[in-house]
C-alpha cells in the first residue's frame, strides 16, 4: 500500500497552507503575489487555530505546508505536531531543499508522510537559471539527507520552455536520488510568470504538441521505473467531459493574509471564496471564484480562458480545437 499524500482527483480533500510568503530564492515562475497573499509570517497560535478549523471543515484532508519556503518558519515542526494530533489524512512539506532551522532534526518520518522537493532541471545549469545559483546542489543534497533519515520524498518538476529539453534526463536522476513519487507541473501564468503577460506566456508555456510528444512519454518512462507519477491532464480528449475541482473536490489554498482560495488560477485576484476573520472562516460576498465554478464554456476551464487564453487554439468553425482540463484533477501512473 502506497503512502498517503496530496491527491488530485474527484472527491479529494487537500489543504494547501502557506504559513509565510518569505523565501530565500527568487524563482522565475514563482506564483506568490505579495499584493494578493500578504508578506506576513503567521504566528504559531494562528497556524494552530486555522489548522483546527480546517480539520473540522474537511476531516481527514491531506495537508501540505508551503511558503514561500516553509522551513524558514521556526515553528514548522510544532505546526506539524499539531496537525498530526488533529487527524489530517497525510502531511507533506513542500520545500526548495535548503531545509532551514534543522527541520530534519525536529520532525520524524512518522509525523510527515512526504517531503516534497522542487527541482526544475536535471542539472545545475538548467535548474539554477530558473531557481537561483546553487539551488540544484542544495536541493539534491537535501533529498539525500531526507532519504538518509528515512523520509519518503517526492520531486516536483514544473515544465516550461526553459527546461522542456532537459526533461528526458530526469528519469535517471529520480532513480539516482531514490525518489518515491514524481509530480509534473505545468507552468501557469501566476505571480512572477504573469508579470509580462502574453510575451512571457509565449516564452514559458509549452504547446499541446510539445506536451503530448515530449512530456507524457517521460511520465510513462518514470512510471515504468516503478516510481508513481502524478501529472496534469491539461488537454481533454475529444468528447471528454470537463470537471471543475471547485465542484467535485475539496481543495483549500490558505495564505498568511487570511485569504482562502479554492482554485489556484484565481490567486492573482481578489476572487477568494473564503477568508479567515479573527480565527473564523467565513464566506466572501459574490462575485467570487465559486460563482465562476458554475459556468460551462466550450473551452473547458473558465479561469484558463480568462487568464491564459494563449494556450487555446480554435478550429475554422470557431470551436476550440482542444478543451482545457481542470488543473486540480490530474492523472496518475
In a domain, 71, yes or no: yes
Q: What is the pLDDT of residue 208?
A: 87
Q: Where are the alpha helices (DSSP H) in the chain?
A: 34-37, 44-57, 76-86, 103-106, 124-131, 135-148, 170-177, 197-204, 208-210, 216-224, 245-248, 289-293, 302-307
Task: Please state the pTM of the whole predicted model.
Answer: 0.95
Cβ contact 93:71 at 8 Å: yes
Q: What is the pLDDT of residue 97?
A: 98
C-alpha cell at position 225: 521505473
Tens of pLDDT along 43-69? 999 999 999 999 999 999 999 999 999
Strands 274-276 and 281-283, by their bridges, are antiparallel
- Range 131-150 average pLDDT: 98
Point out the least confidently predicted range of 153-167, 198-212, 228-242.
198-212
Q: What is the pLDDT of residue 196?
A: 47
In a domain, 192, yes or no: yes
Domain containing 210 equals: 13-232
- Of 111-120, 232-241, 309-318, the range with the highest mean pLDDT is 111-120
- Residue keyed to cell 522551513: 71
- Residue keyed to cell 536522476: 173
Mean pLDDT score across all residues of the chain: 93
In a domain, 142, yes or no: yes
In a domain, 265, yes or no: no
In a domain, 330, yes or no: no
Point out the least confidently predicted range of 157-166, 279-288, 304-313, 322-331.
304-313
In a domain, 175, yes or no: yes
Whether pLDDT at 189 is above 90: no
Q: What is the pLDDT of residue 202?
A: 55
In a domain, 202, yes or no: yes
CATH number at residue 100: 3.20.20.70
Quote the DSSP letter at residue 213.
Answer: I
Cβ contact 20:73 at 8 Å: yes
Q: What is the pLDDT of residue 199?
A: 47
Domain count, the chain: 1
Whether pLDDT at 114 is above 50: yes
Quote the DSSP letter at residue 266.
Answer: G
In a domain, 133, yes or no: yes
Confidence of residue 29 (pLDDT cuts 50, 70, 90): confident
Would you say the C-alpha torsion 140, 146, 148, 151 has a positive or negative sign? negative
Q: What residues contact residue 56 under an 8 Å CB cut-off, 6+ apart?
A: none
Cβ contact 222:171 at 8 Å: yes
Tens of pLDDT along 190-206? 666 555 444 455 567 88
Q: What is the pLDDT of residue 174?
A: 98
Whether pLDDT at 102 is above 50: yes
Q: What is the pLDDT of residue 22?
A: 97
Amino acid at each position: 500500500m502506497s503512502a498517503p499524500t496530496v491527491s488530485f482527483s474527484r472527491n479529494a480533500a487537500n489543504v494547501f497552507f502557506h504559513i509565510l510568503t518569505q523565501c530565500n530564492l527568487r524563482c522565475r515562475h514563482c506564483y506568490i503575489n505579495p499584493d494578493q497573499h500578504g508578506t506576513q509570517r503567521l504566528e504559531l497560535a494562528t497556524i494552530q487555530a486555522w489548522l483546527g478549523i480546517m480539520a473540522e471543515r474537511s476531516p481527514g484532508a491531506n495537508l501540505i505546508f508551503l511558503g514561500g519556503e516553509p522551513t524558514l518558519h521556526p515553528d514548522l515542526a510544532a505546526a506539524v505536531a499539531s496537525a498530526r494530533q488533529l487527524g489530517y489524512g497525510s502531511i507533506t512539506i513542500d520545500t526548495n531543499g535548503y531545509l532551514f532551522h534543522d527541520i530534519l532534526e525536529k520532525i520524524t518520518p512518522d509525523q510527515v508522510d512526504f517531503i516534497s522537493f522542487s527541482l526544475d532541471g536535471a542539472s545545475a545549469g538548467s535548474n539554477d537559471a530558473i531557481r537561483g545559483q546553487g539551488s540544484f546542489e542544495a536541493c539534491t543534497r537535501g533529498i539525500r539527507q531526507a532519504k538518509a533519515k528515512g523520509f519518503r520524498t517526492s520531486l516536483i518538476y514544473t515544465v516550461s520552455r526553459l527546461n522542456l529539453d532537459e526533461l528526458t534526463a530526469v528519469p535517471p536522476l529520480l532513480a539516482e536520488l531514490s525518489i518515491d513519487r514524481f509530480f509534473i507541473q505545468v507552468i501557469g501564468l501566476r505571480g512572477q510568470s504573469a508579470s509580462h503577460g502574453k510575451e512571457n506566456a509565449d516564452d514559458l508555456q509549452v504547446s499541446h504538441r510539445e506536451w503530448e510528444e515530449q512530456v507524457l512519454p517521460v511520465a510513462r518512462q518514470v512510471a515504468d521505473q516503478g516510481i508513481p507519477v502524478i501529472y496534469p491532464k491539461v488537454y481533454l480528449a475529444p468528447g471528454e467531459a470537463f470537471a471543475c475541482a471547485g465542484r467535485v473536490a475539496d481543495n483549500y489554498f490558505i495564505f498568511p493574509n487570511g485569504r482562502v482560495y479554492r482554485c489556484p488560477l484565481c490567486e492573482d485576484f481578489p476572487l477568494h471564496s473564503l477568508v479567515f476573520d479573527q480565527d473564523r472562516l467565513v464566506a466572501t460576498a459574490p462575485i467570487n471564484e465559486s460563482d465562476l465554478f458554475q459556468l460551462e464554456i466550450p473551452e473547458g476551464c473558465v479561469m484558463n480562458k480568462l487568464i491564459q487564453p494563449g494556450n487555446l487554439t480554435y478550429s475554422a468553425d470557431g470551436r476550440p480545437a482542444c478543451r482545457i482540463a481542470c488543473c486540480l484533477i490530474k492523472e496518475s501512473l
